Amino acid sequence: MNEEYFSHLTSEEKKILIDKGTETPFSGKYNNFFDAGIFICRACKAPLYESNTKFNSGCGWPSFDDEISGSIKRYDDFRGGRIRTEICCAKCDGHLGHVFVGEKITLNDTRHCVNSLSIQFKSYNNLDRVTFGAGSFWKVENIFKNKSGIYMTSVGFMGGEIENPTYDEVSRGDTNHIEVVDIFFDSSVITFDELLKIFWFNHDPTSLNRQGDDEGSQYSSVIFYYTKKQKDYSKKAIILEEKKRKNKIITKLESAKIFYRAEEYHQNYLVKNNLGNYSP
């Protein structure tokens, strides 16, 4: 272990990375954190995890279901009277946490349980963001998720009146939130215009609060924009799209509000439950 990598750490960070300690569950900065970027080793700054592999396992520590190739070392850990697999940074050997398999929480069937004090987040500032409401967020996420240029998608709620709404509350119409898909994308690979074309093609923007069998204000058609450029482009796109249709487009155009990520079982729901692929 190269001491130079650890000299700048606080005493609390050293207890984790050097002494193989564990922070209190639900206390870490990154436990409920889902921005687009990369997680690096707090000691040596080596890349460890892409944020699109992070999920909410409910365990109280940041959880990832995959690692950046070559970034992690594994060791047998016999402490505590049971055998576990310890994970450490491959560059500096700093302790990260433990890895578990066979829990069937994600498709990769793997959970890297990592201490927040072992890692740091670096944002992908070159990515753009847009949030769409177009009916059931299960279907909408599945449509966008694997498009080239889309880095990360999450389903959740936006535009309502209370903090941290649950799916059941939104489904009852108690909160005025809309089911949405939050998208981080690389505009050099997929443009905002291309995303809008997918958006128009895969739902009925002339239908008020209803998409197929799904009915209610939570299924509103809406574009939540993050920049003036997105706003101006969307205004023009709505006018052009309306000329192609018999009925008036009722899609809302609103500035993005706080995005509340839905419960983990809703993320990538159709694929998790083998319910088909709705991508065109």
Tens-digit pLDDT string for the chain (280 aa): 677 899 999 999 999 999 999 999 999 999 999 999 999 999 999 999 999 999 999 999 999 999 999 999 999 999 878 899 999 999 999 999 999 999 999 999 999 999 999 999 999 999 999 999 999 999 999 999 989 999 999 999 999 999 999 999 999 988 999 999 999 999 999 999 999 999 999 999 999 999 998 999 999 999 999 999 999 999 999 999 999 998 999 999 999 999 999 999 999 999 998 886 544 4
pLDDT score for 3? 78
The pLDDT score that the predictor gives to residue 80 is 78
13 CB contacts (<8 Å, ≥6 apart)?
42, 43, 117, 118
Whose structure tokens read 């994970």? 87
Q: So what's the pLDDT on residue 280?
A: 42
Amino acid at 75: Y
Backbone φ, ψ for residue 83 (5° rounding): -95, 125
How far CA 23 is from CA of 96, 118, 168, 204, in Å, comes to: 11, 10, 32, 48
Query: Hey, which residues does 198 pair with through a beta bridge?
Result: none
Are the CB atoms for 251 and 237 separated by under 8 Å? Answer: no
Name the E strands within 42-161: 47-50, 54-55, 63-64, 72-77, 84-89, 95-101, 110-114, 119-123, 128-134, 150-158
Model pLDDT, residue 82: 87
Q: Whole-angstrom Cα distance, residue 111 to residue 93? A: 19
**Dihedral in degrees, nearest 10, Cα atoms 7, 12, 13, 15:** 90
Domains by residue range for the chain, with CATH:
3-123 (2.170.150.20), 128-272 (3.30.1060.10)
Cα–Cα distance list, 216 to 14, 40, 147, 176, 257 (Å):
51, 42, 28, 10, 20
Instruction: Give the separation between CA 181 and CA 141, rounded to whole angstroms.
Output: 6
Instruction: Enter the pTM of the model.
Output: 0.90
pLDDT at position 1, please? 65
Instruction: Provide the pLDDT for residue 276.
Output: 66
User: Cα(66)–Cα(53) distance, rounded to whole angstroms?
Assistant: 6
Here the tokens at position 121 are: 């987040």
What is residue 252's predicted lDDT score, i.e. its pLDDT? Answer: 97
Q: How far apart are CA 180 and CA 259, in angstroms?
A: 9
